[in-house]
Amino acid sequence: MSSLFDLAGKVALVTGGTKGIGRSIAKGYAMAGAEVVITGRRQDGCDGAAAELNDELDGQTVRGIGCHMGEWDQIDALVERVYGELGRVDVLVNNAAINPAPVTVAECTEAYFDKVYAVNVKGPIRLAGLVAPRMGESGGGSIINVTTMGAYSGGPRVSIYTSSKAALHNLTRAMAAEWAELNVKVNAIAPGPFMSEMMKGSMRFDPEFPARSGQATMMKRVADCDEIIGLALYLASDASSYVTGHDFKIAGGM
Ligand SMILES: NC(=O)c1ccc[n+]([C@@H]2O[C@H](COP(=O)([O-])OP(=O)(O)OC[C@H]3O[C@@H](n4cnc5c(N)ncnc54)[C@H](OP(=O)(O)O)[C@@H]3O)[C@@H](O)[C@H]2O)c1
């Protein structure tokens, strides 16, 4: 059974792997045997997070590369560097995202909209668009887009963020259809409440948000970030060989 979930010999690229959900995914992939590259906005933050993960993992290698997901030239450079140093990408997780201070639709400025969509939608399009054809040349791969439960429902004051994630759901279907012939599967993970930096940040605007989100689940709690690992590993590995174009909720029954 364990070979179904084995990532030995694979290279995984996890955007936003310096913190929270992405950090846990990176750790899980390294534990399953992959060489892992994590990204974040700043090189020093990536170096620190990679060093911490390498200490925790005792033997596997995680490396960090600074790359702002809203800047296409930085994404191009990231891809060149990863292929230059590691020669392949088998698993790509488009996890990095931002959810800035809440605004209503009427309050939304052009700058706010552009900032959110640049990181949450345009960046994943560019990165997946560069990586998928090269995955195809090396036999295939797995792309995972991290969205949110809010993508299904929308909601007041978070609609720019949730609509960007709804776009990513739609793009997941399109990418899966376009790249199935390359043996590249593309799926989305839609988390409910996880206790990450983003979740802690929400308390600046709404101190009750984590508790209320936990109560909105059947399990009546917020998840630990490591609880993402099982689903992320399933979608990255051969265990999900007939799974593409789908979205998976991981939200305690929310
Ligand atoms: N936590 C939740 O409850 C929850 C719920 C639903 C969906 N999600 C989704 O899960 C994913 C991870 O969220 P999280 O809660 O773990 O967030 P987080 O703790 O805020 O971590 C975000 C990660 O993204 C990176 N990042 C932020 N802006 C970036 C940019 N412009 N370019 C490159 N990297 C950037 C951060 O790295 P640096 O700070 O080092 O730049 C960090 O590694 C996101 O897609 C989020 O929408 C989270």
Given pLDDT bands bounded at 50, 70 and 90, which one contains residue 106? very high
pLDDT on residue 61: 86
Given pLDDT bands bounded at 50, 70 and 90, which one contains residue 58? confident
pLDDT on residue 2: 78
With a 6 Å cutoff on the Cβ, whether 19 touches ligand 1 is yes
- Tell which one of 43, 65, 198, 225 to mutate to probe ligand 1, the residue whose CB is within 8 A of the most ligand atoms: 198
Token pair 């059974």: residue: 1
Catalytic residue chosen out of the listed positions 29, 83, 112, 161? 161
Ligand 1 center to residue 95 CA distance, Å? 6
Ligand 1 center to residue 254 CA distance, Å? 21
With a 6 Å cutoff on the Cβ, whether 196 touches ligand 1 is yes
Q: Is the pLDDT of residue 60 over 80?
A: no
Poorest-pLDDT segment among 58-72, 107-121, 178-192, 219-233: 58-72
With a 6 Å cutoff on the Cβ, whether 118 touches ligand 1 is no
pLDDT on residue 79: 98
pLDDT on residue 59: 77
Q: How many CB atoms lie within 10 A of CB 234?
A: 17
The answer for residues whose C-beta is within 8 angstroms of residue 10's C-beta and 6 or more apart is: 29, 33, 34, 35, 90, 91, 236
Q: Is the pLDDT of residue 163 over 90?
A: yes
- Tell which one of 41, 165, 215, 228 to mutate to probe ligand 1, the residue whose CB is within 8 A of the most ligand atoms: 41
Q: Is 161 a catalytic residue?
A: yes
pLDDT on residue 85: 97
Q: Is the pLDDT of residue 183 over 90?
A: yes
Give the residue with greater pLDDT, 93 vs 59.
93
- Tell which one of 147, 196, 217, 221 to mutate to probe ligand 1, the residue whose CB is within 8 A of the most ligand atoms: 196
pLDDT on residue 207: 93
Poorest-pLDDT segment among 167-176, 205-214, 224-233: 205-214
With a 6 Å cutoff on the Cβ, whether 119 touches ligand 1 is yes
Task: Calculate the alpha carbon distances from 44 to 48, 73, 75 in Å.
Answer: 6, 19, 17
Domain boundaries, the chain: 2-248
With a 6 Å cutoff on the Cβ, whether 250 touches ligand 1 is no
Mean pLDDT on 87-99:
98
Percent of the chain with pLDDT over 70: 100
pLDDT on residue 178: 98
Given pLDDT bands bounded at 50, 70 and 90, which one contains residue 220? very high
> Out of 3.90.1280.10, 1.25.40.10, 3.40.50.720, 3.40.50.300, which CATH number does the structure's domain 2-248 have?
3.40.50.720
Whether the Cβ atoms of residue 93 and residue 15 lie closer than 8 Å to each other: yes
Mean predicted lDDT score pLDDT of the chain: 97
Mean pLDDT on 195-201:
93
Query: Which neighbouring-strand residues pair with 12?
Result: 36, 91
Q: Is 94 exposed, middle or buried (0-12, 13-18, 19+ CB in 10 A)?
A: buried
Atom of ligand 1 nearest to the CA of 96: 24
Can you tell me the distance from the alpha carbon of 106 to that of 109, in angstroms, rounded to the nearest whole number?
8
Can you tell me the distance from the alpha carbon of 75 to that of 51, in angstroms, rounded to the nearest whole number?
22
In tens, the pLDDT along 127-156 reads 999 999 999 999 999 999 999 999 999 999
Ligand 1 center to residue 39 CA distance, Å? 11
Ligand 1 center to residue 89 CA distance, Å? 21
